[in-house]
Amino acid sequence: MSNNDRRAHPDTKIVTGGRRKEWLRGMVNVPVSRTSTVLFDSVDEMHRSYPPQDGRPSYGRHGTWTQWSLAEALTELEPGSAGTKLFPSGAAAVSMALMSVLSPGDELLMVDSAYAPTRHFCDRELKRLGIATRYYDPLLSPAEVEALFTDKTRSLFMESPGSLTFEVQDIPGLAALAKARGIATLMDNTWATPMFFQAIGKGVDLSIIACTKYIAGHSDLMLGSVTAAPSHWTALVRTSTQYGQYVSPDDAYLAARGLRTLGVRLRQHELSAMKVAHWLQDQPQVLRVLHPALHDAHGHEYWRRDFQGSTGLFSFALKGGDAGARDRLIDSLELFGIGFSWGGFESLATPADPNGLRTSSQHDYGGPLLRLHIGLEDPDDLIADLAKALAEYPSAR
Ligand SMILES: Cc1ncc(COP(=O)(O)O)c(C=O)c1O
């Protein structure tokens, strides 16, 4: 089994990735190894275990093959990358990636459609450290973003598609302009995962995933990852190590188990979500569906050019009514759970109110927004559930 063949198709890599023979020891899955202490045969051997090296355990916080295997599999999905660090949540992955590239006095350009806790980290923690954040509209072209660069801009953060409203950015265009100015590029790639968007190959320096979502896939663990281009690997390792970041082997094992079926799950999420999205487009109570794969989506041309697929998360705007009526519609759904996350096997519906958060891209969506995660249930059952709820919506009467 080849672990380093970066030419293989992603579907093959998710099956073979990180399954080194010496880690498997005859089993199909890399076993869970729980430890704090690693015992050595001699003081000399103990000294030689530092600094920690690939494939040789030294101390629990630096991980064992259980965590290394998952990290290696994620690295293999991003051709051209140097390595992957794991973090205890997606939010921790975002904040550690930012800390690895920013210093006091620097300025960060952050996309206005970023996941809300990403903003909070910038507005509270980075600010406290003397790092300024400016927010830019996700609909700006690369040239318009370039016009915002100053001598202090050290980092450009992208999230594509954006949280709640799903604008797709021109990632290769933005990355190329930033690179020419020595500005580090970070991207939250949770929606597409490297199955459908290989960020490092598109010029991004640090590709961030909340593995809590599709990688784990079963709504039963929290985990994040950052995969780095060679130029940004050393700083990422240093920051992650100095901040004592660690992921439990049990969670790493479960995430690796989820990863093995990522391809088939994502393609089913994609098919079912497209069916529901197209159906919603025809409903009189629906004003607009915000889904990157639909022709009228913001940045649809970039999605078509750069992505190999779409996943199960999108929003739609209701015609008429208000936030209260929208919330009652959500309450009346029977097959959709109400919860903050997404990326599991189950469908979810949540209110989406982006304008309260945003500072440089407030838009009138025409009506209240609702975000759906389309899970692995039969899409016709989900449509029937939505049809029943929409029939009671004020604009239907
Ligand atoms: C786009 C995006 N990035 C990051 C995160 C944070 O991940 P976690 O909940 O694992 O901290 C989330 C969580 O919802 C998310 O939606």
- Spatial neighbors of 28 by CB under 8 A, at least 6 apart, are none
If you average pLDDT over residues 342-355, what whole number do you get? 97
Q: How far is the CA of 388 from the centre of ligand 1 (A)?
A: 31
User: What pLDDT does 45 receive?
Assistant: 92
Reduced 3-state DSSP string for the chain: CCCCCCCCCHHHHHHHCCCCHHHHCCCCCCCCCCCCCCCCCCHHHHHHCCCCECCECCCHHHCCHHHHHHHHHHHHCCCCCCEEEEECCHHHHHHHHHHHHCCCCCEEEEECCCCHHHHHHHHHHHHHCCCEEEEECCCCCHHHHHCCCCCCEEEEEEECCCCCCCCCCCHHHHHHHHHHCCCEEEEECCCCHHHHCCCHHHCCCEEEEECCCCCCCCCCCCCEEEEECHHHHHHHHHHHHHCCCCCCHHHHHHHHHHHCCHHHHHHHHHHHHHHHHHHHHCCCCEEEEECCCCCCCCCHHHHHHHCCCCCCEEEEEECCCCHHHHHHHHHHCCCCECCCCCCCCCCEEEEECHHHCCCCCCCCCCCCEEEEECCCCCHHHHHHHHHHHHHCCHHHC
Query: Which class for 122: exposed (0-12), middle (13-18), buried (19 or more C-beta within 10 A)?
Result: buried
Residue owning the nearest CA to atom 7 of ligand 1? 90
**Model confidence over 100-159: pLDDT tens digits?**
999 999 999 999 999 999 999 999 999 999 999 999 999 999 999 999 999 999 999 999
The region that residue 96 occupies, defined by phi over 0 for left and psi between -120 and 50 for alpha, beta otherwise, is alpha
User: What pLDDT does 95 receive?
Assistant: 98
Other residues' Cβ atoms within 10 Å of the Cβ of residue 349: 24
Residue of 135, 145, 131 lying closest to 102 (CA atoms): 131
Omega before 138 cis (within 30°)? no
Catalytic one of 213, 288, 358, 371: 213
Q: Tell me whether strands 369-373 and 348-352 are parallel, antiparallel or unpaired.
A: antiparallel
Atom of ligand 1 nearest to the CA of 213: 10
User: What pLDDT does 3 receive?
Assistant: 44
Residue of 297, 299, 306 lying closest to 274 (CA atoms): 297
If you average pLDDT over residues 277-289, what whole number do you get? 98
**Model confidence over 202-224: pLDDT tens digits?**
999 999 999 999 999 999 999 99
**Model confidence over 50-101: pLDDT tens digits?**
877 767 899 999 999 999 999 999 999 999 999 999 999 999 999 999 999 9
d(CA 307, CA 152): 32
User: What pLDDT does 397 receive?
Assistant: 65
d(CA 102, CA 44): 37
Asked about 213 being catalytic, the answer comes back as yes
Q: How far is the CA of 97 from the centre of ligand 1 (A)?
A: 14
Query: pLDDT tier at 7 (50, 70, 90 boundaries)?
Result: low
- Spatial neighbors of 265 by CB under 8 A, at least 6 apart, are 214, 217, 345, 376
Other residues' Cβ atoms within 10 Å of the Cβ of residue 243: 14
Atom of ligand 1 nearest to the CA of 159: 1
Q: How far is the CA of 269 from the centre of ligand 1 (A)?
A: 18
Query: Is residue 391 over pLDDT 70?
Result: yes
Atom of ligand 1 nearest to the CA of 222: 10
Residue owning the nearest CA to atom 9 of ligand 1? 90
Atom of ligand 1 nearest to the CA of 91: 11
User: What pLDDT does 1 receive?
Assistant: 36
If you average pLDDT over residues 319-348, what whole number do you get? 97
- Lining ligand 1 with CB less than 6 A are 89-91, 94, 115, 163, 188, 190, 210, 212, 222, 224, 341
Other residues' Cβ atoms within 10 Å of the Cβ of residue 254: 21
If you average pLDDT over residues 231-260, what whole number do you get? 98
User: What pLDDT does 116 receive?
Assistant: 98
Query: Is residue 373 over pLDDT 70?
Result: yes
d(CA 154, CA 156): 7
User: What pLDDT does 276 receive?
Assistant: 99
Query: Do residues 156 and 145 touch, judged by C-beta distance below 8 A?
Result: yes
Query: pLDDT tier at 5 (50, 70, 90 boundaries)?
Result: low
d(CA 182, CA 121): 23
Q: How far is the CA of 48 from the centre of ligand 1 (A)?
A: 38
Query: Is residue 335 over pLDDT 80?
Result: yes
Query: Do residues 308 and 195 touch, judged by C-beta distance below 8 A?
Result: yes
User: What pLDDT does 6 receive?
Assistant: 53
Please give the single-letter amino acid code of residue 162: G
User: What pLDDT does 94 receive?
Assistant: 99
d(CA 101, CA 276): 40
- If one residue of 95, 115, 209, 254 were mutated to test the ligand 1 pocket, choosing by the most ligand atoms within 8 A of its CB, it would be 115
Asked about 61 being catalytic, the answer comes back as yes
Q: How far is the CA of 3 from the centre of ligand 1 (A)?
A: 29
**Model confidence over 162-202: pLDDT tens digits?**
999 999 999 999 999 999 999 999 999 999 999 999 999 99
User: What pLDDT does 51 receive?
Assistant: 77
d(CA 215, CA 221): 10
